[in-house]
Amino acid sequence: MKRIHWKVLVLSICLSLPAAQATTINSKAGQIDVQEITTQLSHPWGLAFLPDGRMLVTERSGNLRYVTKDGKVSEPIQGLPELYVKGQGGLLDVIVDQNFSQSNKVFFSFAQADSSGNGTALASAVLDGQTLKDVRVIFSQQPKVDSQYHFGGRIVQQANGDLFLTLGDRLVLRNEVQQTNTSIGKVVHLTQDGKPAEGNPFLQDKTADARVWSLGHRNIQGATLDAQGRLWTHEHGPQGGDEINITEAGKNYGWPLITYGEEYGGGVIGKTAQAGLEQPLHYWVPSIAPSGMSFYHGNLFKAWQGDLLVGSLKFGLLVRLDVENDKVVAEERMSIGKRVRHVVTGPDGALYLLTDEDQGAILRLTPAAQ
């Protein structure tokens, strides 16, 4: 086994991952083996495990594929709707319905275009071998705009089957983020047929979009549930101010009125605090460009139980946050050396990372044998 050891940042180890080989990094939990499952993916974005152990993986360029445990990548699955593939747009997240064994249903997010522009959409489908059947678009972001940026797109399913979808501000629609009658810069909460979920905060407000769960978001690309079933998200800030929040019904998370980031090209955007607007649970200055997030509840990394694991695009990190009583009390940074797009805890207790590259990888992290 090839071993590489040197220090970067506080607790980081840089690494280079030659194809079909494993390497080892250090962490507070001890040495970690990093195995490349495959490097044959084009900018992978979402990953979900099927009951048979195969992975269902999206490529932003517009393909949905199966990947086996030993790294065999399938031909593209057919039946996707027309996608807007440009800039940050394309095929985004995918999840497997919690009742997949009975329903064969999956949900996926993607950039969708029409004559008025483009935006984020959410669809359901039945997975039948190499084909998606009964594809239904259950949500389409409004208003559409001509932009290649800030699609959001993470999908989370609750225990009752309802869905959360994260939505960005599209970069050019900041003024829409604070308006409850649009789905710009929001988290929406939906039933599986796209209707407003029970308990949504604006159900009785005839001037609002009843699907809105929370507002004041810039570009959420990480979302997960904690052990209590609460939604946690992280989002990109501008030149700093990346945030982690417990994202609750009806709350306003401030963008663009408050932020710990700065405008591109310099200059302060606004204040860092204002009455009625939520403060982040944790934030980064400078920005780490977070993407993907998972609470660890597997059986391999005993010391990581309940910790929040976040990918970093900008610095190529896996970031571990020690969370106690809804507060981040410690942070550990481990350098992967490639843009980390997603972080998923596998059914085997291993940690699976996607890297955002032309030859994107699936990496499997496990404790090294002592």
Give the pLDDT of residue 369: 84
d(CA 286, CA 244): 14
Give the pLDDT of residue 242: 98
Selected catalytic residue, list 150, 217, 236, 342 = 150
Give the pLDDT of residue 3: 40
Q: Looking at the predicted structure, is the pLDDT value of residue 20 above 70?
A: no
- Class of residue 171 by CB neighbours under 10 A (exposed 0-12, middle 13-18, buried 19+): middle
pLDDT, tens digit, for every residue of 265-306?
777 787 999 999 999 999 999 999 999 999 999 999 999 999
Q: Looking at the predicted structure, is the pLDDT value of residue 6 above 90?
A: no
Give the pLDDT of residue 367: 96
Whether 1 is covered by a domain: the verdict is no
d(CA 312, CA 287): 9
Query: What DSSP character marks residue 29?
Result: T
d(CA 116, CA 144): 6
Per DSSP, the residues of 155-217 read EEE-TTS-EEEE---TTT-HHHHT-TTS-TTEEEEE-TTSSBPTT-TTTT-TTS-TTEEEE--
Per DSSP, the residues of 293-361 read EEE---SS-GGGTT-EEEEETTTTEEEEEEEETTEEEEEEEEE-SS-EEEEEE-TTS-EEEEE-STTEE
Give the pLDDT of residue 104: 98
Count of residues for the chain?
Answer: 370
Q: Looking at the predicted structure, is the pLDDT value of residue 16 above 70?
A: no
Give the pLDDT of residue 353: 98
Give the pLDDT of residue 268: 74
Whether 2 is covered by a domain: the verdict is no
Entry pTM: 0.93
Q: What is the mean pLDDT of residues 156-166?
A: 98
d(CA 335, CA 312): 9
Higher pLDDT, 269 or 8: 269
Whether 311 is covered by a domain: the verdict is yes
150 as an active site residue: the answer is yes
Whether 305 is covered by a domain: the verdict is yes
Q: How many domains, in total, are found in the chain?
A: 1
Nearest of 168, 146, 142 to residue 256 by alpha carbon = 168
Give the pLDDT of residue 38: 98
Q: Looking at the predicted structure, is the pLDDT value of residue 4 above 80?
A: no
d(CA 125, CA 109): 11
Check: CB of residue 365 under 8 Å from CB of residue 300: no
pLDDT, tens digit, for every residue of 35-68?
999 999 999 999 999 999 999 999 999 999 999 9
Residues 6+ apart with CB under 8 A from 201: 212, 213, 249, 250
Give the pLDDT of residue 68: 98
pLDDT, tens digit, for every residue of 323-338?
999 999 999 999 999 9
Q: What is the mean pLDDT of residues 190-219?
A: 98
d(CA 175, CA 225): 29
Whether 116 is covered by a domain: the verdict is yes
pLDDT, tens digit, for every residue of 132-158?
999 999 999 999 999 999 999 999 999
Whether 161 is covered by a domain: the verdict is yes
Residue 11: which pLDDT band, with cuts at 50, 70 and 90?
A: very low
- Give per-residue burial for 225-254: e unless 16+ CB within 10 Å, then b: beeeeebbbbbbbbbebbbbbebeeebbbb
Tell me which residue has tokens 């940690």: 351
Helix or strand or coil: residue 131? strand
Whether 277 is covered by a domain: the verdict is yes
Query: What CATH number is attached to the domain comprising 17?
Result: 2.120.10.30
Could you give the percent of the chain with pLDDT greater than 90?
A: 90
Residue 210: which pLDDT band, with cuts at 50, 70 and 90?
A: very high
Q: Looking at the predicted structure, is the pLDDT value of residue 370 above 80?
A: no
Give the pLDDT of residue 5: 37
Q: Looking at the predicted structure, is the pLDDT value of residue 12 above 70?
A: no
Domain that holds residue 202: 7-367
Whether 243 is covered by a domain: the verdict is yes
Q: What is the mean pLDDT of residues 180-207?
A: 98
Q: Looking at the predicted structure, is the pLDDT value of residue 18 above 50?
A: no
